[in-house]
Amino acid sequence: MAHQGMGAIPYGSGTAFRVWAPHASHVAVKGDFNGWSDFSHPLGQEGNGYWYGEVEGAHAGQEYKYRISNGDNHFDRVDPYARQVTNSVGNGVIYDHGAFDWQGDSFGCPAHNELIIYETHIGSFAPGEWGHSNLDTVAGKLGYLRDLGINAIELMPVMEFAGDTSWGYNPAHIFSVESSYGGPDALKNFVKRAHEHGIAVILDVVYNHFGPSDLDLWQFDGWSENGKGGIYFFQDWRSSTPWGDTRPDYGRPEVRDFIRDNAMMWLRDYHVDGLRMDMTPYMRSVDATGKDIPEGWGLMRWVADQVRDQFPGRILIAEDLHGDPSVTSGFDGGANFHAQWDTHFVHPMRAALITQDDSFRSMDAVAKAVTWDYGDSFSRVIYTESHDEVSNGKARVPSEVDPGNPTGWAAQKRATMGMALTLTSPGIPMLFQGQEFLEDEWFRDYVPVDWPRKDAFRDIVRMVADLISLRRNWFNHSKGLTGQHTRVLHANEETKMLAFERSTEEGDSVVVVANFANAERRDYRIGMPAEGHWCLRFNSDAATYSALFGDFDTHDIETSWDDCDGLPQSGLVNIGPYSVAIFSR
């Protein structure tokens, strides 16, 4: 019988095995089903370097490896397509994707203009008994995230990595779910529970390099050139990455299939709602600056096209970080991702928040950060904190604002400004774990999130929930925040005041006013997009959000026919220092 696919494929009374090893002279499968015999179950050659065989009685849960011979050299290798492993240096485990009961799970990813992403590291987010954080303990926080208003959780990589503690960007076995996180069923249970809470799951995937350690793919069938990695890797200058000579050979059809099959597996077999492809510059170039590896760019485009074709409604995000519009363009050779992490937002916005002297804050830079556009307002992911921005010597925003007092007035005010602007600017907003309760520890994979802060800063948490409810238009008076159109109404370098409008095609309009100065503004005139009464929907200085806040007398705006900022009508705004106010009609 012919079985489609690669790896260990269970069928009614046994398991089929298929592996690609073009330089092997002999391949056999060994495992619990044959007493780990090197020779009792040889695989037959199918052509083009593929080997195939069926083992009656081999079943899910049994461990196995391939015995690969290359002349007089013999290797025991973990299946590159192993859906489960005992650990990164252990054995493959036969796993049946069809055996899991999804109980009718048919969740649909929210529209991209409604997404609120929460980036999470499984190993540190929700420590349970013995201090371990895994997929089951993190699932216990889904109700909290739902109540906050989060509708998408992005998981840092869960592919099996070396050891039990890692950020996850060192994948050893890309088809397996990290064993210390709970393995494949734990991820499926997590996704199912997230969907029950109305939360989409976006998964980080790493295709710019593999390993570099615990890597059975390395010289997999005994062949290599130039001392490089063999059939899965480039054998020349293109192999070089900051993480070793471990860049996959994006030009080989079998390696392209390997990566494409992996992306499709997460979407199909794990029901995840999107993928975020890690550091794509290192897929399209050796040093992350150009496009000197066209095969890598072509692979990204191929995967993106396949995702759009086979899984419409899911989301594909690139961590490209070069502000290149072609990453999210489907035209003229673009890579066709739905969205990309946007450095045009995070860097100028963080700079404006953490600069100590008001006079050095650039409103022009902030205005450009707010309005940057790749052709669609929701083709960028915007944030002030991510795992990259708050690690390796870079701190959380409150600590950057005031290292000596990261819970003080200035730190609270400017950190909340950052979250308010992230949640009102055009783009898909993203928060990093603990940001909503002013977590001030820089990110390390072995330091758990400080959950007691959630209660200590419960009012800041409520502020974030209020902002998210506006961003998602829960009360039907802030639909403009989901719209494609943004225009700056007012940007003043002297007063450090910024006002911008978000609107939809239908004319739903929201005005956001931000004061980047340590000075209150009273009766401050700004041009308004339309005449009439504008209701105050949010004031970040409200005392209800922090005992340290001034509760400044910000109130509704009545426009008058006094032209200002090039507009025929204007209004007078009251706003506290380092504050954001939101208005709509």
Tell me the domain boundaries of the chain. 7-99, 480-584
97 backbone φψ class: left, alpha, beta (φ>0; ψ -120 to 50): alpha
Cβ contact 69:82 at 8 Å: no
- The stretch 282-297 carries a mean pLDDT of 96
- The stretch 360-368 carries a mean pLDDT of 98
- The pLDDT value recorded for residue 130 is 78
- The token pair that represents 236 in the structure block: 């020349």
For strands 50-56 and 14-20, give the pairing.
antiparallel
Q: What is the band of 2 on the pLDDT scale with cuts at 50, 70, 90?
A: very low
Give residue-wise pLDDT tens across range 48-65: 999 999 999 999 999 999
Cα 459 to Cα 222: distance, rounded to the nearest angstrom: 60
Cα 379 to Cα 342: distance, rounded to the nearest angstrom: 9
In 405-507, alpha helices (H): 409-422, 452-456, 458-471
- The pLDDT value recorded for residue 128 is 85
- Nearest 5°: the CA angle 303, 200, 435 is 110
**Phi (first) and psi of residue 494, to 5 degrees:** -75, -45
pTM of whole model > 0.95?
Answer: yes
**pLDDT(258) > 50:** yes
Short-list 211, 209, 190, 210, CA closest to 200: 190
- The pLDDT value recorded for residue 1 is 31
Cα 29 to Cα 505: distance, rounded to the nearest angstrom: 60
- The stretch 490-496 carries a mean pLDDT of 98
Structural domain 7-99, CATH architecture: Sandwich (2.60)
Cα 116 to Cα 229: distance, rounded to the nearest angstrom: 40
Give residue-wise pLDDT tens across range 316-340: 999 999 999 999 999 999 999 999 9
- The pLDDT value recorded for residue 150 is 98
Residue 75's DSSP bridge partners are 68
**pLDDT(554) > 80:** yes
Looking at the chain, the whole-number percentage of residues with pLDDT higher than 90 is 98
- The token pair that represents 126 in the structure block: 């929700």
How far is CA 66 from its chain centroid? 34
Cα 166 to Cα 48: distance, rounded to the nearest angstrom: 37
- The stretch 118-128 carries a mean pLDDT of 96
Positive or negative, the CA dihedral 261, 264, 266, 268 is negative
CA dist 326 to 339, 340, 382, Å?
A: 11, 10, 18
Positive or negative, the CA dihedral 87, 91, 97, 98 is negative
Cα 211 to Cα 277: distance, rounded to the nearest angstrom: 16
Counting other chains too, the contacts that 240-245 makes at CB distance below 8 Å and 24 or more residues apart are: 240/286, 241/208, 241/209, 241/282, 241/286, 242/282, 243/170, 243/209, 243/211, 243/212, 244/209, 244/211, 244/212
- The pLDDT value recorded for residue 129 is 78
Query: 480-584 sits in which CATH class?
Result: mainly beta
Cα 255 to Cα 351: distance, rounded to the nearest angstrom: 41
**pLDDT(273) > 70:** yes
- Other CB atoms within 10 Å distance of the CB of residue 585: 18
Cα 6 to Cα 19: distance, rounded to the nearest angstrom: 6
Q: Is 584 in a helix, a strand, or coil?
A: strand
Give residue-wise pLDDT tens across range 299-320: 999 999 999 999 999 999 999 9
CA dist 340 to 51, 313, 472, Å?
A: 39, 16, 21
Q: What is the band of 3 on the pLDDT scale with cuts at 50, 70, 90?
A: very low
Q: Is 177 in a helix, a strand, or coil?
A: strand
